[in-house]
Amino acid sequence: MSDKIIHLRGRLFITFDLEAVTGLHIGGSDSGIEIGGVDKTVIRDPLTNRPYVPGSSLKGKMRSLLEKYHAKPQNQRIGQGFIHSCQTDKEYATCDICQVFGVPGERNFGTPTRLVVRDVHMSDQSAEALEKANTDLPYTEVKTEVSIDRVTSAANPRQMERVPAGTVFSPAELVYSIYDGAGCDAQKDVQRLRVLAEGLQLLEDDYLGGQGSRGAGKIAIQNIKVAWRGGASYIGEAEMLGEYGDLGAFVQDLDKVIQTISAKLNA
């Protein structure tokens, strides 16, 4: 039993449209591949058969880019690679990335993960447009690439499934929680919204999913809405704090959003 008391002060809801500016490949299971079929398939919703963007892909990519931008040590093995994860309470206390994105549950110094990232489903408008377009596969295109063996010069053709450019996934939703007590500081959490904005900017300038260095996965974040729920009662509609056409407009207004939430916490 622990005598820690953690107080959830409120939550910020950031929703937006995620548009595939170039073809988007987020890999799914290859268990259904047939001879002569596509080598790399995309992940699909089993109920609608439409491709979707897993929240884990969005969250993981933002975290990875932030770790590199802030030169965090890659000190924990995950599968075939490494990520950053604070090893001591002293390190954790000053690491905004681990505070926002979380640390493994076995770290006894860890506090609640601030950020939740939902799965993002294809918009009905984009699904209807792709159904009419008679694409290679349901809602997707097949891109053929040819690699050349540098020793034998033999051609090695391969096919990759992609969501076509222009497809919109909506609404994407980020839920950012603000805590007090037991190692949490609500005002510091509010300031850490800058980390989240930075992660979104890094993502938009990079790529999502696979084959990014060969042109796939560029995305645009549009039609952003920011809302707040918290204070004396959690019941009721979230209070709208702002609407922005693109990420640049949101970033430009970020100081105002931070000041507004900070004032609500102090009220």
DSSP string, 147-205: EE-TTT--EEEEEEEEBPTT-EEEEEEEEEEEEEBTTB-HHHHHHTHHHHHHHHHHHHH
Euclidean distance between CA atoms 177 and 190, whole angstroms? 9
pLDDT tens-digit series, residues 102-124: 998 888 888 999 999 999 999 99
> Has residue 215 got a pLDDT over 80?
yes
> Has residue 246 got a pLDDT over 70?
yes
* Identity of the residue numbered 43: I
Query: Which of 139, 137, 121 minimizes the C-alpha distance to 129?
Result: 139
Euclidean distance between CA atoms 170 and 176, whole angstroms? 18
> Are 190 and 261 within 8 A, CB to CB?
yes
180 bridge partner residues = 7
Residues 203, 161, 79: CA angle, nearest 5 degrees = 60
In terms of phi and psi (left: phi > 0; alpha: psi -120 to 50; beta: otherwise), the region of 140 is: beta
pTM: 0.91
- Largest separation between any pair of C-alpha atoms in the chain: 72
pLDDT tens-digit series, residues 64-98: 999 999 999 999 888 888 899 999 999 999 999 99
> Has residue 46 got a pLDDT over 90?
yes
- Alpha carbon of 205 to those of 21, 210, 254: distances in Å? 11, 15, 19
Decide: residue 104, CB within 10 A, 0-12 exposed, 13-18 middle, 19+ buried: exposed
